[in-house]
Amino acid sequence: MVISIDSNSGFCFGVTRAIQAAEGELANGPLYCLGDIVHNGQEVARLEEKGLQTIDYDDLRTLPAHSRVLLRAHGEPPSTYWIARQRGCEIIDATCPVVKKLQDRIRACYEAHKHDENRPPQIVIYGKAGHAEVIGLQGQTNNTAIVIESTDQLDKIDFTRPIYLFSQTTKEVEGFNALVEAIRARSQESGVRTTVEVHDTICRNVANRVAELQAFAKANDTVLFVGGTKSSNAKVLFRHCAEANPKTFFVSSPDEIEQLITDGHIDTTNPDLKIGICGATSTPLWLMEKISERLSAS
Ligand code: SF4
């Protein structure tokens, strides 16, 4: 077998930065992280072995004063900062600068328009309801923003009122463009002339990966896409990979390799078989390397 790892896969800039912050801060004593630092169980386990303690919002409310709390790349709503300060915690803010800028833009838009009483504006976020980043974005609008996951949910919007559209950073450009088109069409149909302001805030660190990933998938006979089952970015990129090469398999751990071989998906006796290993923005390079090692040893 010829095994190669996609050089464009692995942590994006924001996740790398958050993990480096965690590793650096762990040297100074106990450190809590609010939520999984990255949507990859193996990387979370690696950092927890080094002493990182993953907590939830209920835990945050009961932390002793002076505890150090790391906020991950996804960002947090203002209420989280407030609670942490109330507890006397030290905040280590590893919010990705791209997400931070988006939060600032949404907050500025909300502040600029919240007093328009005649036709109160609507801030619409194209994103996944309940996703950590989206919760952080909604928080910038005092939780008044409307979250839309697809064009099927347009009824959530009042087309007689101004619309300010933003996107979760990890959504797909095609879906966003389709939503923009549908909103504009529905707005025209309503017969009420109103503002439809569009802010394409999709992170190109993710969006630009699709073409590279598909080229990599096509260049290999079989592809192992490595990702965490909780990662929405992994699900999306896996789908693109599988479109380019139907012999793409989703793998979360090296322990899954044997089953793929037993099921006949990987012919380890074929010396010419090209196997490509790639992953999401939340997939650590070391995990892809471990999968490569396990394959080589099979
Ligand atoms: S995908 Fe983009 S916005 Fe999200 S953490 Fe990575 S670099 Fe930041």
DSSP secondary structure, 43-98, as one string: HHHHHHHTTEEEE-HHHHTTPPTT-EEEE-TT---HHHHHHHHHTTPEEEE---HH
**Residue 168: CB within 6 Å of ligand 1?**
no
What average pLDDT does this structure show over 86-100? 97
How close is the Cα of 48 to the center of ligand 1, in Å? 22
pLDDT tens digit string along 208-251? Answer: 889 999 999 999 999 999 998 888 788 889 999 999 999 999 99
pLDDT in tens, 15-42: 999 999 999 999 999 999 999 999 888 9
Atom of ligand 1 nearest to the CA of 12: 6
- For residue 120, report the distance from its CA to the centre of ligand 1, in Å: 31
Percent with pLDDT over 70 in the chain: 100
Give φ, ψ of 93 to 5 degrees.
-90, 105
Taking residue 111's Cβ as centre, other Cβ atoms within 10 Å add up to 11
Residue 120 has pLDDT above 80, yes or no: no
> Ligand 1 centre from 125 Cα, in Å?
17
Fold held by 13-97: Rossmann fold (3.40.50)
Strands (E), the chain: 2-5, 31-34, 52-55, 68-71, 90-93, 122-126, 146-148, 163-167, 196-198, 222-226, 248-251, 274-279
Give the Å distance between the CA of 76 and the centre of ligand 1. Answer: 14
Nearest ligand 1 atom, CA 206: 1
DSSP 139-156: HTTTT-PEEE-SGGGGGG
List, for residues 47-87, the tens digit of each pLDDT value.
999 999 999 999 999 999 999 999 999 999 999 999 999 99
The minimum-distance atom of ligand 1 relative to the CA of 233 is: 1
Rounded Cα distance between 258 and 264, Å, is: 10
Answer yes or no: is the C-beta of 98 below 6 A from any ligand 1 atom: yes
CB 96 near ligand 1, within 6 Å: yes
- 2-9+206-297 folds as Cobalt-precorrin-4 Transmethylase; domain 1 (3.40.1010)
Give the mean pLDDT of 108-118. Answer: 86
Q: Which of 25, 133, 149, 172 is catalytic?
A: 133
Sequence spans of domains, the chain: 2-9+206-297, 13-97, 120-203
The CATH number assigned to the domain with range 120-203 reads 3.40.1010.20
Whether the domain at 2-9+206-297 and the domain at 13-97 fall into the same CATH topology:
no
**133 an active-site residue?**
yes
Angle 41-49/285-297 helices, nearest 10 degrees? 110
> What's the average model confidence in pLDDT over 262-287?
92
**Per-residue model confidence (pLDDT) at position 193:** 84
pTM over cut 0.85: yes
In this prediction, residue 230 carries a pLDDT of 80
Once rounded to an integer, what is the mean pLDDT over residues 82-94? 96
Residue nearest to atom 5 of ligand 1 (CA): 14
Q: Which atom of ligand 1 is nearest to the CA of 203?
A: 2
